[in-house]
Structure 1
């Protein structure tokens, strides 16, 4: 941390033990902007499994509490940074200090781009990003549905079969997922061994009975990865249909199947994240399934010289 922290504050790296306090910070920041938050300790720890906290995290604190925090990770050509300042400590330059640390870290990692995020309603954050020479790149939706009754059974096109994932077919699942997402904006394929370690080994919430595969004979047509709970909701982590099988209602059938499974398990709320400009029309699909936008987030970025 080459630059001293703002007056009266200490600076250090985040540790796993900080997760509850940082979750409280994130929740307070979200509530100040939109009145509610979906943050949780398990979700935060999940993101941290992607990160090198020892070198790519920053905590600002006074004698009593953590007042600001940021962490990031390398993602393709980007260093992606996510940061939060407690609403009681805004206007002290803490956000600018964290952004500067992220930009320095991007340089250390020889990444040519810096990217960061905020809620769409956070005008203060947008002004800060623009002062740093960043511009809006993309918008994302968190979409949700409240299941008031058991969904109708999913219906697949004739000849296709829906199965529960078997860990022994992890590589085929991974490869189908990569193919399905290869045209997505900012998508970077994770190598199989790293993906397997992250999803099947390290994730304490890994539940193979919530992962699904659609087959056409011996070929995988589509895959779906779900999480049993994210901030009180069942969560659709990834849903991908390979190109030859698109526009046949497979994605909608998988979504309805997942809704039914979550409902059976007592989860009445289901959520997912989606690129607002998704090239496959996923947003319209989710709306047809009854989901609505719960909040919107914005990605900002800049090229570094």
Structure 2
């Protein structure tokens, strides 16, 4: 008779199994093993599990408190089972395990994402009392299909990279403190302290300094944009943010065009971004630049499961 066993990820061998499962079960997979290792140590209280079925890793999960210093009762979690092993109760086994850990952390709810195309995952969460609280529309730009963009910042605006100006991080943080709360989606994580923002949004292994563009008016940071390096010729947009008083001047457009140009020069084939439903300015910008919607990521919030 087949047997299953849940293993807490404590070393690289177990983490490689975790990454293999997520790569097989998730739409985009894991950007890099190094990034997965980094994220494990980013949030105190985070635990990752691998579920082995007859000795083979077929399921993965994690749970952590909300980021940014939030003390709220809602944590962040993820559950994956590779397609050939679904509908056997393995996802529920992992969900029970992370729920028990969440209780020990003092959490009462969890926020879990599922892609619109993953009908089984959506139905699973809805049956357990999870409700949709937001959507992120995913869009793709096929770089071979678009010409090299001209990067013409508005009058008085200069673009530099983090590699060129590593001294601008505190100014970028002030942009984040205005831009992130204005994103119209209900998320558990908050901006938090400068140190938390730096660790989460700037210093992950996939956030490279030469792909981080900063908009300056004189000596003042008024906007920035980050690109995450993925695998297989794919890169992912992270935040494109502009301070409120400088919006509507074309700064976000110039930052994004600089990223597209840099990605084409570096040999990337595809750029992927997510836009919250209701964030009309950035959605209009992406549409004008040739990004096309492919699916939505649905953010669910719901209760912990009962004891096993």
Global fold match (TM > 0.5): yes
CA contact (8 A) 1:153 1:256 kept: yes
How many residues in Structure 1 have an aligned counterpart in Structure 2?
292
Structure 2 residue aligned with 1:269: 270
Structure 2 residue aligned with 1:295: 295
Structure 2 residue aligned with 1:195: 197
* Pair 1:61 & 2:52 matched: yes
* Pair 1:284 & 2:284 matched: yes
Structure 2 residue aligned with 1:4: none
* Pair 1:121 & 2:122 matched: no
CA contact (8 A) 2:161 2:209 kept: yes
**1:156-176 deviations in Å (ceiling 9; x for gaps):** 221222122222221221221
* Pair 1:235 & 2:236 matched: yes
The SS at the match of 1:182 is helix
CA contact (8 A) 2:151 2:258 kept: yes
Q: CA deviation at 1:223?
A: 1.0
**1:103-125 deviations in Å (ceiling 9; x for gaps):** 32322222242111112122221
**1:45-100 deviations in Å (ceiling 9; x for gaps):** 454343458x6222211333112110122113221111111222222211122222
CA contact (8 A) 2:3 2:53 kept: yes
Moved beyond 3 Å, runs of 4+: 36-53, 197-201, 203-206, 228-231
Q: For the residues of structure 2 that align with 1:111 and 1:175, how far apart are their CA atoms?
A: 30
* Pair 1:12 & 2:14 matched: no
CA contact (8 A) 2:168 2:221 kept: no
Gaps of 5+ in 2: none
Gaps of 5+ in 1: 1-6, 31-35
Correspondence for 1:81 among 57, 77, 82:
77
Q: For the residues of structure 2 that align with 1:294 and 1:154, how far apart are their CA atoms?
A: 26
Matches within 5 A, 1:79-158: 79-148=75-144, 149-158=146-155
After superposition, the Cα gap between the structure-2 partners of 1:285 and 1:114, relative to the gap in structure 1 and judged at 3 Å, is same
